[in-house]
Amino acid sequence: MAKNKSNLSVLLIEDNLAIAKQVAGFLEAQNWIIDCATLGKQGLDLALQYHFDLIVLDLNLPDIDGLVVCDEIKRTADRNIPILMLTARDAFEDKAKGFGIGADDYLTKPFDLRELVLRCEALARRPQLHGETLLQKGMLSIDSRAHKATFNNLELTTTGIGFRILQKLVEEYPYPVSRSELIRHLWGDEPPESNALKSHIYGLRKSFEKVTDKPVLCTISNIGYQLQALDD
């Protein structure tokens, strides 16, 4: 069952004290439990030591870049904790780096606190994000902690975005996932040029071709993409 918004536990990692106070106060007014860290190292220690429903992470931290903090949490935590990035970096390349290492959503500063609440609630409603780090579907295995995927015990070579596409397809298996849903999952409201998804799908398909002759990643006409032949 999804978490009720009245009992969300949130770790806020933000070095700007004025912003941290404003955000924490607004979230506490939702009856959420908020812990704050002003340094990346402090936030990383808290994230790995205690249980949080999600993390709100500023990328511009004084000691450790927020992207490094995000990557470390995603690689070493014993569960996949949703991370929402707060950033003044509005360039697509910076956002793509964040999504590529596992961030789940972002907000560009300045932002509306009401939108922050909505995005946090949306992340908390994703039950698959709170599950175990190992996901097994037939011959396909995904370890989100190690960022490793195998098919029939043979490792798949994937990019960061390719791995996230594969995770999404496994989570929805045996159903197809539409192109628009994948694009929204990967890039939010600011998708890249139109052929980006197609290019990543092509790379992922080539990875499967190296370990099996089965047509695992299939295109469903006028819909999107679907995993097949996992139990053969």
> What fold characterizes domain 5-129?
Rossmann fold (3.40.50)
CATH 1.10.10.10 segments of the chain = 133-227
**Boundaries of CATH 3.40.50.2300 in the chain?**
5-129
Digit-coded pLDDT (tens) for 22-35: 999 999 999 999 99
Is the pTM here over 0.85, yes or no?
no
Angle (CA) 158-225-93 rounded to 5° is 50
List pLDDT tens digits, range 98-142: 777 778 888 888 899 999 999 998 887 764 444 556 778 889 998
65 DSSP assignment: -
Fold for domain 133-227?
Arc Repressor Mutant, subunit A (1.10.10)
Measured at the CA of 165, the angle between CA 203 and CA 192, to 5 degrees, comes to 80
pLDDT tens per residue across span 183-215: 888 877 677 766 888 889 999 999 999 999 989
